[in-house]
Amino acid sequence: MRQSVFGHLILATLIFSTLLISGVLLVSHFTVMQGITDAERATAPEVAEKVVQILKMEEKSLSLFTHDWGVWDDTYQFVQDGNYQYIQSNLQDGTFSASQLDLAIYLNKTGGVVFQKGYDSQKQSAVPIPDDVFDLISRYQLLTDPDLVDPITGIIPLKSGPVLIAVQGIYRSDETGPQEGYLIFGRYLDEDRIMEISDNSVFPFQIVGTYADREQYVKASLPYAELDPSGQKFIIYSVISDIRDNPAYLVKTEIPFRTPYTSSLILYLILTSAILCGLFFAGLILYYRRYLLFHLQGIANILDSSQSPDCQPCILPNAPVELTPLVKAVDNTASSLRKHQDELARTQEELAEAEERIRILFEQAQDAICVLDGTKIVDCNQAFSAIFQKERGTFIGQDLCQLSVHIDNRYSSSLHGFCQRILDHPAGSGTRFEWSFPVSSGQISDASSDQVVFDIIIRDIRYHENSLVFIIARDITRQVEFQQNQERLYQQLEENLVHMGALNDQIRNPLTIISTLVDENESPEKDRILYEVDRIDKLIDRLDDGFISSEKVWQYLHKKHEKFEDTVF
C-alpha cells in the first residue's frame, strides 16, 4: 500500500508539472510576447524624434561652419573683387574633403555668382553643380532676406536626392555690414553619408523615398512601427521635413527586437515553474511521510495487535473508545494549525508580492528618488545614481554631504549647494525648487546644454518612530529648453511683424510718388502705369491684411504662452 500511494504521488506531481509548464509556455507566448511587442511599438514616436534630433545635429554642424565662413573679412572682400588668392587658399579640393562639403556657391549682393563648385567626395574631384539647385533656392525664397546674419539651414529635395544646405549672409568678421551677398554650403545626404551619420548614432536609419511615395512602404499614419517578418527587429517609418518644415522624405529605422531578454524571461518562467513543481512534490512527500504514513502505520499496528495471541481480550474492544477523543483532539488541533499556517503563508506571500511591486515601481520610476534619515542615504533608485554615473550600492548608507569624496569633481560644487538646500528644509513641510547638475557628453543625448535641470520635491514621511526625508527629482531639462526656445521664437515673430509693417510702408511711399508724377505728366503709358500701380497697391493691402492677422495670431499665442507658464512652470 505504501508503494502504491507513493507511486500515485509521483504520477500526480508529473501531471501537475506538465500542465504548469505548458500553461507557462502558452501564457508567455500569447501574453508576454504580445506585451513586449506592444511596448516596442509604443517607442516609435520616441525613435522618430531621435532620428530628427540626429539630423538636427548635422544641420547645426553645417550651420556653424557656414556662419564661420560667411562672417569673415576675407569672404567679405572676395565677393566684392573675386580675388584669385582667396580661391587658391580656401577653396581647393582638400578643403571640400576635410569639411565634407559637396557644393559651395558665393553670390554678390546683386545675385551674381562669384564662385561655384561641386565636389564628389568618393572620386575626390570637382563635379558640376546640379541644375535644379538654383531653382529650388529660388522656390524656397532663401535669398530674400537682406539682413541674414544667422544662416538658414535645412533639406531641399533635388532630383538626384536630398541635400542639406545652409544659406548665410556675408558680413565682416565683427558682423557689421552692409550685407555683400550670400554664401551657400551643401552636403548631399546620399546613402554613404546617411550610413556615416547612422554609425555615430544609437538608431541606424536610411532615407527610403519621398514623402509623396510613402504609401508604397506604409499605409498607416506616421510614425509607424511594425515587426519584421523574421521577428528579429522592428522597422519604424517616420518623416523628415525640408528647409521650410514641409514633409519631404520617408525615413526607415531598424532597431533590434529584444529577443535575448524575451528568451531569458521565458527561461526564468520555466525555471520558476520547475522549482514550484519540485516544491509541490517535496510537500507531497513530506505530508505523506509525516502525516499519512504515520496514521496508516498506527492503524496497521492496532490491527496487528488485535491479531496477536498475547493481546488481552479487552484491549481491542476498548481501544477505539479510549483513542477516539484523543484522535479527534489531535486532528482538530492539527487542522487548526494547518489553517493558521496556510493563512500565515498567504499573508507572507501577499506581503512579499506587495513589497516586490513597490520595489519594482521604486526602481523603474523615471524620476530620481532618494530617502534620507537625517543626511544619511537610506535608499535610492537607479535614476538617482545615474545622475552621478555611479552604482546604486555606492550611495546606500553614505552621508549625503560626504558624497563629493566618491564622485567626480565636476559635481562637487553643485552637490554642495544641493545639500545645503536639503539641510535648510523646514521639518514638517514641503519644499520645491529647481536645481541643475553638470552632465557629461553623451549622458543625455537630446540635451543641448551641459547642465541637466531637475524639479526637486522634498517631503517629510513618518516610518515607525523615525522621520525620513523623501526627495523626488524630475528631469525638466527639455521643458526648460522648450520654454526658452518658445520665448525666443515669440521674440523672433514679433520682430518679423515689425519688419513686415515697415517694409509695407517703404513700398507704399514710392508708389504714391510714382502715381503723383504720372498724374502730373501726360504720357502714352500713363493708364498702364496707373493700372500697375493700382495692382501693386492692392497687393500691399493684402499684405497689410496678412500683417493684421499675423499680429492677432501673435497676441493670441503670447496670451496662451503666459497662461501655460502660470499653470506648468
Q: Which three cell numbers stand for residue 269?
A: 518562467
Residue 400 carries which DSSP code?
A: G
Q: Are 179 and 150 in contact (CB under 8 A)?
A: no
User: Do 151 and 203 fall within a single domain?
Assistant: yes
pLDDT of residue 445: 46
User: Do 63 and 193 fall within a single domain?
Assistant: yes
pLDDT of residue 408: 61
Collect all residues with Cβ–Cβ distance below 8 Å to 376 and sequence separation of at least 6: 397, 398, 399, 400
Nearest to 61 by CA among 151, 126, 145: 151
Q: Are 476 and 456 in contact (CB under 8 A)?
A: no
Q: What are phi and psi of 396, to 5 degrees?
A: -65, 130
**Dist CA 521 CA 514 (whole Å):** 11
**Dist CA 280 CA 134 (whole Å):** 79
The CATH number of the domain holding residue 419 is: 3.30.450.20
User: Do 160 and 61 fall within a single domain?
Assistant: yes
pLDDT of residue 36: 63
User: Do 188 and 316 fall within a single domain?
Assistant: no
Coil, helix or strand for 414?
helix
Residue 30, in any domain of the structure = no
User: Do 419 and 550 fall within a single domain?
Assistant: no
Residue 449 carries which DSSP code?
A: S
pLDDT of residue 18: 75
Residue 208, in any domain of the structure = yes
pLDDT lower than 70: segments of the chain: 1-10, 12-13, 24-41, 43-44, 201-203, 229-232, 257-270, 284, 286-331, 334, 403-413, 439-449, 497, 501, 508, 511, 519, 521-523, 526, 547, 550-551, 553-569
User: Do 416 and 505 fall within a single domain?
Assistant: no
The CATH number of the domain holding residue 187 is: 3.30.450.220
- Give the Å distances, CA to CA, from 159 to 132, 141, 192, 539: 7, 18, 17, 33
Q: Are 241 and 62 in contact (CB under 8 A)?
A: no
Q: Which residues pair with 434 in a beta bridge?
A: 455
Residue 263, in any domain of the structure = no
User: Do 316 and 392 fall within a single domain?
Assistant: no
- pTM over 0.75, yes/no: no
CB-CB neighbours of 251 under 10 Å:
23
User: Do 244 and 316 fall within a single domain?
Assistant: no
427: left (phi over 0), alpha (psi -120 to 50) or beta: beta
pLDDT of residue 322: 44
CB-CB neighbours of 213 under 10 Å:
11
Residue 233, in any domain of the structure = yes
Residue 271, in any domain of the structure = no
**Among 442, 475, 508, residue at a domain's last position:** 475
User: Do 357 and 499 fall within a single domain?
Assistant: no
**Dist CA 262 CA 25 (whole Å):** 12
Cα angle: 490, vertex 494, 498; to 5 degrees: 170
Q: Is the sign of the CA dihedral 354, 355, 359, 360 positive or negative?
A: negative
**Among 364, 382, 406, residue at a domain's last position:** 364
Q: Indicate the number of domains in the chain.
A: 4
pLDDT of residue 357: 84
Domain region containing 393: 365-475
User: Do 211 and 317 fall within a single domain?
Assistant: no
What single string gives the DSSP state of each residue in 532-566? HHHHHHHHHHHHHHHHHHHHHHHHHHHHHHHHHHH
**Among 460, 475, 490, residue at a domain's last position:** 475
Strands 125-127 and 103-108: unpaired
pLDDT of residue 300: 54
pLDDT of residue 440: 61
Residue 16, in any domain of the structure = no
User: Do 358 and 369 fall within a single domain?
Assistant: no
Coil, helix or strand for 318?
helix
User: Do 505 and 469 fall within a single domain?
Assistant: no
Residue 7, in any domain of the structure = no
Nearest to 207 by CA among 217, 139, 518: 217
Residue 21, in any domain of the structure = no
